[in-house]
Amino acid sequence: MNQQDSLQAKLPTPWGDFVIHALETDDGKEHIAMTFGEWDKEQAVLARIHSECLTGDALFSLRCDCGFQLRAALEKIAEEGSGVLLYLRQEGRGIGLTNKIRAYSLQDQGMDTVQANEHLGFGADERDFKVASDALDILGVSKIRLMTNNPRKVSSMKDAGIDVVERVPLKFGQNPHNAMYLSTKQSKLGHLF
């Protein structure tokens, strides 16, 4: 992964003025980091590792809790005065947008999110969080307070050498449209609510 100094800019948001950083992996995927404030190398930085969800983040879908968590994380980082949000291009748990919509169609027919992904020939979760540890290293972050309900993210960061000193829960966006989705995340993927 690489970051060029020229690939960052101010990004004003409803929660405050962030800095957006363009990050590119060796396979050509473009990810972003949004940073707020400053920190030193020894500080445990509040961080969110967020996988792209076009439907939830940009189109306000109620099928998931992604958009709600994204907005809550940005707000918490701004309130804290410093932090990092990594936005990873891993749509649909890593299966891509078109396959995610195929999975939605299967869910409309009664499958849960894991069953739909597996029916399409994918694993329950195809995401790779190694890119997140690389991005944090580029940003000078070695210790984090990770905003997540996903214990896999915690263990992935620890396995990659990032010191996760605290898991900060994100309980936002529960509604009747995503009840089965959240139940599946808890029962089949081990998410902590």
Binding-site residue positions for GTP: 48-52, 69, 91-93, 113, 148, 153
Task: Domain ranges for the chain, please list them.
Answer: 8-90+129-178
**What per-residue confidence (pLDDT) applies to 190?**
64
Cβ–Cβ < 8 Å for 51, 92 = no
Binding-site residue positions: 48-53, 64, 66, 69, 91-93, 113, 148, 153
- Average pLDDT over the chain reads 88
- Closest alpha carbon to 45 in 82, 17, 16, 96: 82
82-127 pLDDT, tens digit per residue, is 999 999 999 988 899 999 999 999 999 999 999 999 999 999 888 8
When pLDDT is cut at 50, 70 and 90, the band that residue 130 belongs to is: confident
Cβ–Cβ < 8 Å for 153, 167 = no
Of the two residues 183 and 177, the one the predictor is more confident about is 177
Q: What is the set of active-site residues? A: 125, 127
pTM of the predicted model as reported, rounded to 2 decimal places? 0.89
Sequence-ordered strand ranges (E) for 2-82: 8-13, 16-24, 30-36, 44-51
The yes-or-no verdict on residue 5 having pLDDT over 60 is no
Residue 124 structure tokens: 């329950």
- Closest alpha carbon to 136 in 52, 23, 5: 23
Spatial distance between the Cα atoms of 153 and 180, rounded to a whole number of angstroms = 22
Spatial distance between the Cα atoms of 85 and 27, rounded to a whole number of angstroms = 21
28-44 pLDDT, tens digit per residue, is 889 999 999 999 888 89
Query: For domain 8-90+129-178, is the CATH number 3.40.50.10990?
Result: yes
